[in-house]
Structure 1
C-alpha cells in the first residue's frame, strides 16, 4: 500500500525534488540525469518520486515553469516605472534575455540541445497550455504598452509572436555563432524597439 504523506511532508518532498532536480539537470543535463540520481539526491524512494512526477522530464518542465515567476516580477517592475514605451520594451527584452542566459538550467539544456528533446517527451496538451500562458502573458504586456501610447497599433498577438521569437533565438546560439551571438542579440533588440515604437 502506497505511503500516505501529510500536506507538510508533500510540500517538503516537492521542494526538495525541485531543488535537487535543478542542481542535477544544471550540472549533468537531462539525458545524463536519471530518476535514481534524483531520488538519491532527494533522499526518497523511487516509488515516492512517481507519486509527484510522471518522469524526469515532467520534473524538469515543472522546474522551468516555476522559473516563470521571474517573468511576472520583471514585467510588474517595468510597468511600475515612469518610463517611455521604448525604454520599457528594451527593459523587457534585455531583462528577459539576461535571465535566460544566466539561468544554469536553461544554459545546460540549451548547450546540450535538450530543450527540444524535453518538449518531445511531454504530453502535447501540457506544451500547448504552456504556449498559451506565454501568449497571454506577452499579450498583456503589449496591450499595456499600447494603452499607454508609444507602441505601434499592430495586433498584440502579432507583436507578442515577434517578442517570443526573439527569446527562441537563444536556442540557436550555435547556429548564429557564439562569437557573433551577443552583438546579434543587441542589434535584434535595437531593431525591435525601433520597429515597434512610435514618437509621442
Structure 2
C-alpha cells in the first residue's frame, strides 16, 4: 500500500500547480487556460488538482490571493530597507521600485487584466472577494503603520497607489510612449504629498 503524502509534499504539489498555472495564465489569459492545461504543464494527474482546489475558479482565487500577498511583501521589504535613508535616496529607491513593479510581467498582466480578474471574482468568488479586500486592507494598514505619514490620510495614499496601478490598466486610452514619464510624475506627486 503506497504511503500518503506528508503535509510538506502536499504543499509542494499545490505550489507546483499554482506556479505552472500562473505561468500559463500570464501567457494566455484567464479564460484560455483550463484545468487540463495546468495539470499537463505541471506533469500531474487531473485528480491531483482536485485534491487541492475545488475548481478552476477556486484555483484562480488562491492564485490572485497569493499574488496580492507577495506584492505586499515586496512593498514592506522596500519600506523597511529605505526607512533610515535620507529623503533624496528614498525618493530614488521608491521611484525605481514603482517602475520595476509596473514593468514586472506578472504585475503588468494583473494590471492589464484587472477588469477580467475582478469580473471573475464577482461572478465566482464573492466571499473570496471580501476575503481578498480584507487581506488588502490589513496589509495596507500594516504598511501605513510602519510609515511616518506625518498626519497624512492613509486613505488618500491607498487611493493614489490604486490610481497609479489601475490607471495604466486602460492603456488603450493612453499615449503609449508617455506612460512611463506620466507614472514618474504621478509618483513624484505622491512623494511630494508624503513629504519624502
Summarize deviations over 1:26-61 as a string: whole Å, max 9, x none. 221111111111122223333321221233233234
Question: In the TM superposition, what is the alpha-carbon distance from 1:24 to its structure 2 partner?
Answer: 1.0
Equivalent of 2:143, from 141, 156, 168? Answer: 141
Question: In the TM superposition, what is the alpha-carbon distance from 1:114 to its structure 2 partner?
Answer: 3.0
RMSD: 3.0
Greater displacement, 57-66 / 11-20: 57-66
- For normalisation by structure 2, the TM-score amounts to 0.77
Contact between 2:26 and 2:109, CA under 8 Å: does it hold in 1? yes
Equivalent of 2:104, from 102, 105, 109? Answer: 102
What is the match of residue 37 of structure 2?
Answer: 37
Task: Tell me, in whole angstroms, the C-alpha distance in 2 between the residues paired with 1:165 and 1:177.
Answer: 17
What is the match of residue 173 of structure 2?
Answer: 175
Question: In the TM superposition, what is the alpha-carbon distance from 1:158 to its structure 2 partner?
Answer: 3.5
Greater displacement, 186-195 / 112-121: 112-121
Q: Which has the higher helix share?
A: 2
Task: Tell me, in whole angstroms, the C-alpha distance in 2 between the residues paired with 1:51 and 1:189.
Answer: 44
Task: Tell me, in whole angstroms, the C-alpha distance in 1 between the residues paired with 2:161 and 2:123.
Answer: 26
Gaps of at least 5 residues in structure 2 are: none
What is the match of residue 75 of structure 1?
Answer: 76
Summarize deviations over 1:72-130 as a string: whole Å, max 9, x none. 24423432432246754664464145224213x34345445633333334422222222
- For normalisation by structure 1, the TM-score amounts to 0.76
Equivalent of 2:129, from 120, 127, 130? Answer: 127
Question: In the TM superposition, what is the alpha-carbon distance from 1:25 to its structure 2 partner?
Answer: 1.0
What is the match of residue 13 of structure 1?
Answer: 13
Gaps of at least 5 residues in structure 1 are: none
Query: How does 1:40-79 map onto structure 2 within 5 Å?
Result: 40-67=40-67, 68-79=69-80
Greater displacement, 109-118 / 179-188: 109-118
Contact between 1:18 and 1:63, CA under 8 Å: does it hold in 2? yes
